[in-house]
Amino acid sequence: MAEIGTNIEQAAALLKAGKLVAIPTETVYGLAGNALDESAILDIFKVKKRPKFDPLIAHTDSLEKIKGIVTHIPDKALMLAEAFWPGPLTILLNKKPHIPDILTSGLSDVAVRIPRHPLTHSLLSQLDFPLAAPSANPFGYISPTSAQHVHDQLGAHIPYILDGGNCSVGIESTIIGFNEQEQPIVYRLGGKKIDDIEQVVGKVKLRINHSSDPIAPGMLKSHYAPSKRLIIGNLTELVPRFHKRNFGVISFHQSFEGLTADRQIILSKTRNLDEAARQLFGALRTMDQKDVEFIITEKFPDMGLGQAINDRLKRAATR
């Protein structure tokens, strides 16, 4: 089983030897391997049971290192990098020829990010290669936001989990790219709010496809899903409708009489969407492990991180 610890040197040594290590970021925990090593990348796909048509994100610690793997950085991409890196924003940029096609699923753009977590940032500074690091969970299941989440599901398949505590954002990064006219297009809603992005580069287009042929990570129709059925609707109507059934509730801020405390999870009693996003994956995971037939939840306010929460719930509810 995987060792859980905080030894950055040990994690770096394993990665340099071509092994996989789980790493913390501010968004979710990643299953990391050398992004320039086709064998390590193949191991990531194998351990996650992830389809090879779903591209990976390359993580590093500096813009200078990113310049070594891409051909060109548009002016607006530089503006975003200066404003939000390190942080929960991934940018799609044209890759240099030495970047393995398997990392990008044969696409010409590579997804790049500088994560904010101090442990992983320090780890990346010790490496002369970027890390491919999709979420450290079996493909399609709920993303992990703690080292224990990773250990519970992938601990038998990797040697080391770098423990950085609970993730501070709790939802994957926002992904943005640029068309031929270098206009910004958001491909995945995530931890960086659209309003914040538009304050830097102006109006962006949204291309949040639920696709079986993704052009960026995290675009598949069914994803982030618990093993139990997830139903999204008006909780004040659904709770009484299902009163004779054994179900669990994940709500934004309200509680329901007649339901025991262990069958309902409130994400933010103060109606804080950032707090709700941080708690979301953990709540889905906790409720999925309970003795309930199915889980019901609701649509969140469509603003700030509420947009990303709704995106994750929609994909989690798709069968």
Of 19-23, 94-98, 146-150, 257-261, the least confident: 257-261
Cβ neighbours of residue 57 closer than 8 Å, sequence gap 6 or more: 90, 111, 112, 113, 132, 133, 134, 173, 217
- Long-range contacts from 206-211, C-beta under 8 angstroms, 24+ separation: 208/311, 210/314, 210/315, 210/318
Average pLDDT for 213-235: 82
Query: What percent of the chain stands above pLDDT 90?
Result: 91
pLDDT at 211 over 70: no
Amino acid making up residue 172: E
| Average pLDDT value for the chain | 95
Look at 224 and 5; give whichever has higher pLDDT: 5
Position 221 scores a pLDDT of 64
Ranges of H-type helices in the chain: 8-16, 38-48, 63-67, 75-84, 101-104, 118-125, 147-154, 194-201, 235-241, 273-288, 306-317
Distance of CA 58 to the CA centre of its chain: 13
Token duo for residue 146:
């703690």
249 exposure class (CB count in 10 Å sphere: 0-12, 13-18, 19+): buried
Tokens 């696409």: give the residue. 107
Query: Which neighbouring-strand residues pair with 100?
Result: none
What is the pLDDT, as a whole number, of residue 222? Answer: 67
Percentage with pLDDT > 70 across the chain: 96
End-to-end CA distance of the chain: 32
What is the phi/psi pair of residue 251, to 5°? -115, 165
CA nearest neighbour of 216 among 300, 123, 108? 108
* Domains, the chain: 3-82+92-170 (3.90.870.10), 229-317 (3.40.50.11030)
DSSP-based three-state secondary structure for 245:
coil
Predicted local confidence at residue 128, as pLDDT: 97
pTM of the full predicted structure? Answer: 0.94
* pLDDT reported for residue 224: 83
Place of tokens 């025991």: 260
Q: What is the pLDDT of residues 87-112, one digit of tens each?
A: 999 999 999 999 999 999 999 999 99
Q: How many of the other CB atoms lie within 10 Å of CB of 12?
A: 18
Total residue length of the chain: 319
117-169: per-residue pLDDT in tens? 999 999 999 999 999 999 999 998 999 999 999 999 999 999 999 999 999 99
Distance CA 49, CA 241 (A): 37
Q: How confident is the model at residue 196 (pLDDT cuts 50, 70, 90)?
A: very high
Helix (H, G, I), strand (E, B) or coil at 42: helix
Res. 76: pLDDT tops 70: yes
Minimum mean pLDDT among 26-35, 135-144, 204-213, 305-314: which range? 204-213
More confident residue, 14 or 221: 14
Helix axes 8-16, 118-125, angle to 10 degrees: 50
Per-residue pLDDT, averaged over 66-79, amounts to: 97
Please compute, for residue 175, the number of CA atoms within 13 A of its CA located in the half-sphere on the CB side: 22
CB 228 within 8 A of CB 288: yes
Q: In 3D, which of 113, 147, 118 has the Cα closest to residue 131? A: 113
pLDDT at residue 213 in the model: 58
